[in-house]
Amino acid sequence: MAQIVVKNVKKMFGDFTAVRESSFTIEDGEFFMLLGPSGCGKTTTLRMIAGLELPTSGEIYLDGEEISQRPPSERDIAFVFQMFALYPHMNVRKNISYPLISQGMPRAAVKAKVEEVAGILGIKDILDSPVGGLSGGDRQRVALGRAIVREPKAFMMDEPLGALDAEFREHMAEELRALHDRMGATTVYVTHDQLEAMQMGDKIVVMNNAVIEQFGTPQEIYDKPATMFVADFIGSPSMNFLPFQGKVAPGSEMVRLNGHDEAVPKLMEGAEGDLVFGVRPEHVFLSDASAYRAKVLAAEYLGTTQIVTLQSPNGELKARIDARETVNPGETVGLEFRSSAVTLFENSTGRALR
Ligand code: ATP
């Protein structure tokens, strides 16, 4: 069991606020992502959970017990660093055994435990090999083996795949997730890669400028972004934002933006003021029936879909449509938007209207 509760936790470095008051709960067994751009405070948050930094204020609980001020050695949390440092002069078995031997575990028990972990990771056949000659993937597995052999309550991982090339990274991401599903240990994972967070995470905290912008499942964060920052950060190409002034008229299935005759979803009826109309590229449709006209600027072919860049009366936007539809740069097309997929934001705060 390892539930982690972060409650009103704040971290200052001198006058600088690295993490503003943050609260979230990581349930037992969750693969939990801390996502955000460089410098937003995600590593500091992870380090506070592991005990490598102490919070300036607020509390952290592990299974109901407060651990905020305890040293890392008294937290039973394993930290997996980006640079998987192995002991180069030891073979694989010795590298994985090391944490148990230094705990004083008897030899026979160490041997059995290491064999078990090697079995889980699929590296039994290289246990007696020197680590020097191993492939990148095997080195990662050995390093993971060293982290999991202690059976900590939870794992902290700081961009563990950051140094790998794209293809291998994807493979290791799948392996890590599969390993997690087999072991079921609570894992907190820092990344700036939104795709990685969406693919691997059960829950995601999106941070920006030391603040939590949103906390939820990948689907909640993608479909119901709480702020324009989240809507922009998640998804590729990112959400389209069009300035939207005027009063919202009664709803229908598809939205047509045109002067003051727009039909938009029920939830936005009556919304008024200085707003931003947000719609993802896959919810923009080309339609002869629509009087909302846009000029095709470019079309980028991606095999099954294509990304069309359009100049609308409200600004430039992108549509992801079927690759078999014919669109020619320079032509004028009508546009419609799926009403259930539209988010309206308040321009002054960037917050979504709910
Ligand atoms: P990155 O992916 O670049 O590591 P991050 O989101 O993990 O970004 P943090 O490492 O948590 O960000 O850092 C948040 C902010 O706090 C940064 O502006 C960083 O410079 C600052 N910071 C982190 N550690 C310290 C420290 N020990 N002393 C002073 N400032 C620090």
Reported as a pLDDT band with limits 50, 70 and 90, residue 253 is: very low
Residue 319 lies in a domain: yes
Q: In this predicted model, which residue has the larger pLDDT, 221 or 291?
A: 221
Closest-CA residue, ligand 1 atom 20, reads 39
Q: Domain check: are 69 and 201 in the same one? A: yes
Report pLDDT for 249: 44
Q: What would the pLDDT profile of 100-123 be if each residue is shown by its tens digit?
A: 998 899 999 999 999 998 988 889
User: Residue 212 is part of a domain; what is its CATH number?
Assistant: 3.40.50.300
One DSSP character per residue, 203-268 reads EEEEEETTEEEEEE-HHHHHHS-SBHHHHHHSSSS--EEEEEESPPBPP-SEEB--TT--B--GGG
Q: Are 6 and 163 in contact (CB under 8 A)?
A: no
Closest-CA residue, ligand 1 atom 16, reads 18
Q: Domain check: are 54 and 191 in the same one? A: yes
Prediction pTM value: 0.86
Report pLDDT for 343: 87
Q: Residue 140 pLDDT > 60, yes or no?
A: yes
Residue 321 lies in a domain: yes
Report pLDDT for 243: 80
Percent of the chain at pLDDT > 70 equals 90
Range of the domain at 211: 4-228
Reported as a pLDDT band with limits 50, 70 and 90, residue 307 is: very high
Instruction: Please state the rounded mean pLDDT for residues 217-226.
Output: 96
Q: Picking from 57-61, 199-203, 251-255, 301-305, which range would have the lowest pLDDT averaged per residue?
A: 251-255
> Please, what is the Cα angle at 25 between 22 and 27, to 5 degrees?
160
Residue 102 lies in a domain: yes
Q: Domain check: are 268 and 341 in the same one? A: yes
User: Residue 285 is part of a domain; what is its CATH number?
Assistant: 2.40.50.140
Query: Up-side HSE of residue 104: CA atoms within 13 Å toward CB?
Result: 0
Report pLDDT for 303: 94
Q: Residue 98 pLDDT > 80, yes or no?
A: yes
Closest-CA residue, ligand 1 atom 25, reads 13
Q: What would the pLDDT profile of 34-77 be if each residue is shown by its tens digit?
A: 999 999 999 999 999 999 999 999 999 999 999 999 999 899 89
Q: Are 26 and 71 in contact (CB under 8 A)?
A: no
Report pLDDT for 26: 97
State which of 187, 209, 228 marks the end of a domain: 228
Which of 13, 17, 82 to mutate for ligand 1's pocket (most ligand atoms within 8 Å of CB)?
13
Report pLDDT for 18: 98
Q: Residue 354 pLDDT > 70, yes or no?
A: no
Q: Residue 263 pLDDT > 80, yes or no?
A: no
Report pLDDT for 336: 83
Determine the residue type at 180: H
**Range among 122-136, 205-219, 311-325 rated most confident:** 205-219
Could you say which DSSP state residue 353 is in? P
Q: Domain check: are 183 and 247 in the same one? A: no
Q: In total, how many domains does the chain have?
A: 2
Q: In this predicted model, which residue has the larger pLDDT, 307 or 248?
A: 307
Residue 65 lies in a domain: yes
Mean pLDDT rounded to a whole number for the chain: 87
- Going from the Cα of 13 to the center of ligand 1, the distance in angstroms, rounded, reads 9
Instruction: Please state the rounded mean pLDDT for residues 141-150.
Output: 86
Q: Domain check: are 216 and 244 in the same one? A: no
State which of 228, 249, 268 marks the end of a domain: 228
Q: Are 312 and 294 in contact (CB under 8 A)?
A: yes
Report pLDDT for 265: 46
Q: Domain check: are 164 and 274 in the same one? A: no
Q: Domain check: are 178 and 32 in the same one? A: yes
- Going from the Cα of 41 to the center of ligand 1, the distance in angstroms, rounded, reads 6
Q: In this predicted model, which residue has the larger pLDDT, 156 or 170?
A: 156
Q: Domain check: are 42 and 178 in the same one? A: yes
Instruction: Give the burial string for 93-116 (b: 16+ CB within 10 Å, else e).
Output: bbbbbbbbeeeebeeeebeebbee
Report d(CA 203, CA 205) in Å as an integer: 7
Q: Domain check: are 120 and 138 in the same one? A: yes
Report pLDDT for 35: 98
Instruction: Give the burial string for 157-178 (b: 16+ CB within 10 Å, else e).
Output: bbbbbeebeeeebeebbebbbe
Q: Domain check: are 132 and 66 in the same one? A: yes
Report pLDDT for 150: 84
- Going from the Cα of 121 to the center of ligand 1, the distance in angstroms, rounded, reads 32
Closest-CA residue, ligand 1 atom 11, reads 41
Report pLDDT for 309: 98
Q: Are 154 and 77 in contact (CB under 8 A)?
A: yes
- Going from the Cα of 231 to the center of ligand 1, the distance in angstroms, rounded, reads 24
Q: In this predicted model, which residue has the larger pLDDT, 276 or 114?
A: 114
Report pLDDT for 266: 44
Q: Domain check: are 36 and 103 in the same one? A: yes
- Which residues contact ligand 1 via a Cβ below 6 A? 13, 16, 18, 36, 38-44, 192
Reported as a pLDDT band with limits 50, 70 and 90, residue 166 is: confident
Residue 352 lies in a domain: no
Residue 136 lies in a domain: yes
Which numbered atom of ligand 1 lies nearest the CA of 19?
14
Give alpha helix (H) positions in 122-227: 136-148, 166-183, 194-200, 218-223
Closest-CA residue, ligand 1 atom 14, reads 41
Closest-CA residue, ligand 1 atom 27, reads 13
Residue 354 lies in a domain: no
Report pLDDT for 269: 56
Q: Domain check: are 50 and 112 in the same one? A: yes
Residue 351 lies in a domain: no
Q: What would the pLDDT profile of 4-21 be if each residue is shown by its tens digit?
A: 999 999 999 999 999 999
Instruction: Please state the rounded mean pLDDT for residues 303-331.
Output: 94
State which of 194, 228, 262 marks the end of a domain: 228
Report pLDDT for 207: 98
